[in-house]
Amino acid sequence: MKKINYFLLSALALGSAVVFSCDDEEALPPIDGYNNSNEVATENLKAHWTFDDTKVERLSNTAPSNEYGGAGAVSFADGQVGKALKLTSGAVLYPSIANIGAANSLSNFTVSMWVNVQGNKRTAKQGFTSFFAINHQDDTDIWGNITMAAETGNYLPTSDTLMLKPLLKTLLDGGATSLQDNITTVNGDVGQHFLGAKRWAHYVARWNGTTHKFEIFGDGANIGAYSDRGTTPPLVMRTPARAIFGSLTHNDVGFASAPDRSFNVLANALIDDVRVYNTALSDAEITALFNLGTAGR
């Protein structure tokens, strides 16, 4: 907070005058050792969308190639950290971004984002919600290389539960693919239901190809029910790969060989501060991103 100092000047002919001066705003104290989220794993950050009144990816300066939906489908709104992308049955597609577009760009990865969405069960716009994906341009399947999504069709709009569901699809030797996912639910003594709907929630997916673990963090807590993915190797992406917000791989959003849209709709959601790292961040780094974002940093 700015400090205001008061200085009483000598009496003038018409009486005394008071002058105000303001010191520079004092630096905020660090959170978990960082001043802001941009200081976390800086060398491993390969893509970052701030959505502060811009849809340009910050590190590569890449603008969208297309937007989809009706009038007003893609806009901005107040976010968790500055402004946010607002999708109203909309999607935003990007050309291939070099840092996250090569086959081995994200062998291990962490995707961090803030989302604000509600369930859509029994509504006209019911279905699975894809917040962000890196999809193969020539895919004939709906699932991309990396997908950050939620099973919004499982819960009514009045529910506070949000079932997070990230997926990865890796290319195996010989040309086959392996699709892996995780969800936030209870599985014996692991996993949790995530009460993250209808508010800003921090959503992180972490893939470590060495440990074969695909983990979900909700508001800084490790809450995935099926994190152990057996012998799944490090991610090898199918290329060319393109980032998209608001949709899976469909032929109505620029992926000509992909299927028609069926069970999932264009997203109705707020999305903010999306970060893609080429490493499996530590628990402490993920906690720091949550705490810093909670403080708007």
Does position 12 have pLDDT exceeding 90, yes or no? no
**Contacts with 3 (C-beta within 8 Å, 6 or more apart), sequence order:** 22, 23, 26
Mean pLDDT of the region 54-66: 98
pLDDT of res. 124: 85
pLDDT of res. 263: 76
- The tens digit of pLDDT for each residue in 268-286 reads 999 999 999 999 999 999 9
pTM: 0.90
CA atoms within 13 A on the CB side of 269: 35
Least confident stretch, 20-24, 67-71, 134-138, 215-219:
20-24
**Could you give the CA distance from residue 83 to residue 81 in angstroms, rounded to a whole number?**
6
Mean pLDDT of the region 205-214: 98
pLDDT of res. 287: 99
List Cα–Cα distances, 104 to 48, 101, 161, 170, 274, in angstroms.
19, 8, 35, 10, 20
pLDDT of res. 144: 95
- Banded pLDDT at 86 (limits 50, 70, 90): very high
pLDDT of res. 24: 40
Does position 21 have pLDDT exceeding 60, yes or no? no
Per CATH, is 32-294 categorized as 2.60.120.200? yes
Mean pLDDT of the region 98-113: 98
Does position 50 have pLDDT exceeding 60, yes or no? yes
The mean pLDDT value of the chain amounts to 92
- Banded pLDDT at 39 (limits 50, 70, 90): very high
- Percent of the chain residues topping a pLDDT of 70: 91
pLDDT of res. 262: 81
- The tens digit of pLDDT for each residue in 221-249 reads 999 999 999 999 999 999 999 999 999 99
pLDDT of res. 27: 86
pLDDT of res. 26: 59
List Cα–Cα distances, 119 to 157, 250, 287, in angstroms.
4, 22, 26
Domain extents in the chain: 32-294
Handedness of CA 189, 191, 195, 200 (dihedral sign): positive
